[in-house]
Each structure stands twice: as C-alpha cells, then as structure tokens.
Amino acid sequence: MCKSQQYTIIEAAGGIVKNENDEILMIFRREKWDFPKGKVEDGESWEEAALREVKEETGVQGLQLGEALPMTEHTYTLEGTPILKHTHWYRMSAPKQALAPQTEEDIAQALWIPQAQVASLLEENSFPTLIRLWQNYTKNNE
C-alpha cells in the first residue's frame, strides 16, 4: 500500500476459476456478485496472492494458475480515506467441490455458477469493471 497525492493505492490479486463442468467460481459479498480477490501481502507475488486469496475466500482446493487477465482498477472510500485498488487477475482452474465462504470477509456465498449465467448475474448486480473483465475472459476463452 502506498499513498499517491489523492489516493491510498492498494494492490490486490484474484482469479476467475473454472471447473471441469464449465462452471465459474463466484462470491456474493456485500450484496454484489464478485470474483474472489484480496490484498497482496508484503513480499508476495501477484500470482501467489491470487492463489492464496481465492483459496481463503472460498475454501477451494487444487487450484491451478493460468494466464494473466487484464488488471482492473476501482476507487472507494474507507473510513474517510480515498482508495485506488489495482487488482491483478488470472485464469484459474480447480475441480468442482464443496466451498466454504469466508464470512469474516463479508462473503455470504461462494458458488459454482454455470458459465452461461455469469454475464447476467454481473450485469444485474455487480461492478462495471467486473463486467468488462468477464467480457475479456469470454472473448479470449480457450
């Protein structure tokens, strides 16, 4: 975390995780659909942080890291401080399994969502940056 003239900058990392049934791992946090992500810790690479955060937020095991996706940026205010968050995203895969949402991070649900339903969930109740990230993911999907 560093301070710019106007914002405190936070580096984060996460992933879009696909299982063998073409389902995507999503979380429902603070009344919005999201992909798992979190802050990069000191000395940690973006890739290490992405794998750790996805596992912590969802309980998923057996994650495999894929290629990098475009970084997203968004702003918000935390306790009166303006924040600019850079999130580094990766394609990931994992076997379908039971999930355990990290409730202490306000994650109400962690679910496997059929790939065909992801866009509508994001468009109905998410953030513009995630809609664009999903569009890029599907445009360049293997």
| pLDDT tens, residue by residue, 60-75 | 999 999 999 999 998 8
pLDDT at 6: 87
Task: Please report which confidence band the pLDDT of residue 10 belongs to, taking 50, 70 and 90 as the band edges.
Answer: very high
10 Å CB burial of residue 72 (0-12, 13-18, 19+) is buried
Tell me which of 13-17, 39-43, 55-59, 80-84 is least confident.
80-84
Task: Please report which confidence band the pLDDT of residue 3 belongs to, taking 50, 70 and 90 as the band edges.
Answer: low
Q: Please check whether residue 82 is in contact with residue 7, taking contact to mean a CB–CB distance below 8 angstroms.
A: yes
DSSP 98-139: -----GGGTEEEEEEEEHHHHHHHHHHHS-HHHHHHHHHHHH
> d(Cα 44, Cα 142) in Å, to the nearest integer?
28
More confident residue, 1 or 41: 41
* The residue to which tokens 């596992």 are assigned: 55
CA angle 133, 76, 118 (to 5 degrees): 30
> Residue 4 CB: number of other CB atoms within 10 A?
9
Q: Hey, what CATH topology would domain 2-139 get?
A: Nucleoside Triphosphate Pyrophosphohydrolase (3.90.79)
| pLDDT tens, residue by residue, 91-132 | 999 999 999 999 999 999 999 999 999 999 999 999 999 999
How does strand 8-18 pair with strand 37-39?
antiparallel
Q: Which two tokens stand for residue 98?
A: 């039971």
- Closest-CA residue to 108 (of 34, 22, 13, 12): 34
Task: Please report which confidence band the pLDDT of residue 5 belongs to, taking 50, 70 and 90 as the band edges.
Answer: low
Whether 46 shows a pLDDT value over 70: the answer reads: yes
Q: Name the residue ranges covered by the structural domains of the chain.
A: 2-139
pLDDT at 1: 53
